[in-house]
Amino acid sequence: MGGLKLGIIGWPVAHSLSPAMHGAALGALGLEGSYAPFPIEPSELEAKLAELRSVGIRGLNVTVPHKCLVMPFLDRIDEEATRIGAVNTIYTDGDAWVGANTDAPGFVRALEEGGAPPAGKHTVVLGTGGAARAVVDGLANAGAASMTIVGRGVEKAEELTRRFSEYHPDVDFAALSYGPALHEAFTGTELVVQTTTATLNDGPDCAPFVDGLPMDRLPTNAVAMDLVYRPLQTGFMIAAGRRGLRTLDGLTMLRHQAYLAFELWTGQPAPADAMSDALERALRHA
């Protein structure tokens, strides 16, 4: 098939909603091209990337577990992806493959769309994984006043505070582990972001995780966002709703990071309505 060849790499990748969104985007703009999922085992990543380059792939989304693993095999990493330490989008600049990260700006755009711009806010980030790193960088770029990063063990949280303090010295960072110390952090926060997989699919970890959070300490004007979107209303969001808080789901971030990736590949504004409609249809049939 001719035209613009795009796709997504991951392991597994069959569950991805990106083909629906980007296929719809190509169609809406009348662009000849295709978007395909490429399931790649980690041990085969270097060889399979070389194959994709050889057949003229011009852009890729990158999902777990390859967001960090892919970086050594690219020609260049942009500034944001370097800070975060992960790539979720690959685009071409001439013959070069360039790694970018649209998760951080996509997350900030989702907050802004939801009426919760983070500038000047006191924030809490639950989790220390790849999604948390993008959220931390996005919040800091957008001018958050303070950020408490919370991990199962405080060591990983401390590692992230050290890393991002170097890039964002104006932000007041702190590191905590789950437990009683969260009470004070929640009392003063205006935005709490859940980045872990604990709430995914209402799994067995969800209820103990949510029950261990001092949601009653959050100010009633705080905003709670969960990056998980399966289910759309997670246990964390339900608990925040009981507290009377405004909640934001992960679909908005998913959409915005996709818009930004599409713009990197095509140089054209993403057809947001077509992509959003395709996402909703795909979710209904998932």
Segment 165-219, tens digit of pLDDT: 999 999 999 999 999 999 999 999 999 999 999 999 999 999 999 999 999 999 9
The single residue of 48, 67, 121, 156 carrying the catalytic annotation is 67
> What is the rounded CA–CA span in Å between residue 120 and residue 101?
24
For the chain, domains (ranges, CATH) are 4-101+254-285 (3.40.50.10860), 105-249 (3.40.50.720)
Q: How confident is the model at residue 266 (pLDDT cuts 50, 70, 90)?
A: very high
Read off the pLDDT band of 1 (50, 70, 90): low
- The pLDDT tens digits for 35-90 are 999 999 999 999 999 999 999 999 999 999 999 999 999 999 999 999 999 999 99
Query: Across residues 225-254, what is the average pLDDT?
Result: 96
Q: What is the signed CA dihedral for 265, 266, 267, 273, rounded to 10 degrees?
A: -100
Residue 67 annotated among the catalytic residues of the structure: yes
pLDDT digits (tens, 9 = 90+) for 86-133: 999 999 999 999 999 999 999 999 999 999 999 999 999 999 998 999
Output phi, psi for 271, to 5 deg. Answer: -80, 85
Which among 225, 195, 223 has a CA at the least distance from the CA of 86? 195
